[in-house]
Amino acid sequence: MRRSRLIFWIGVGLFAVVLAGLSPLPLLTGCGKSPPPVSSATARVYTGAELRAAVPLAFAGDTAYAEVSSAWLRAYYDQFRAEIFRQGVTKWDQRFDCNHFATYYVALAQTKFYLANFQSRTPAQTLALGTYWYQSPRGPHAVVVALTDRGTLFIEPQTGAELQLTPEQRASAWLRVF
**Closest residue by Cα to residue 107 from 129, 90, 76:** 129
pLDDT at 57: 96
pTM of the model: 0.78
* Domain spans in the chain, listed from the N-terminal domain onward: 1-35, 41-177
pLDDT tens digits, one per residue of 13-34:
544 444 455 444 444 444 555 5
What is the CATH number that goes with domain 41-177?
Answer: 3.30.460.70
> Can you give the pLDDT at residue 32?
54
Sheet strands (E) in 98-177: 126-127, 129-136, 139-148, 151-155, 162-163, 175-177
Res 170: pLDDT: 97
- Kindly give the parts of the chain with pLDDT less than 50: 5-9, 12, 14-19, 22-30
Q: What are the distances in angstroms from CA 22 to CA 2, 11, 13, 27, 62?
A: 28, 15, 12, 10, 39
pLDDT of residue 94: 87
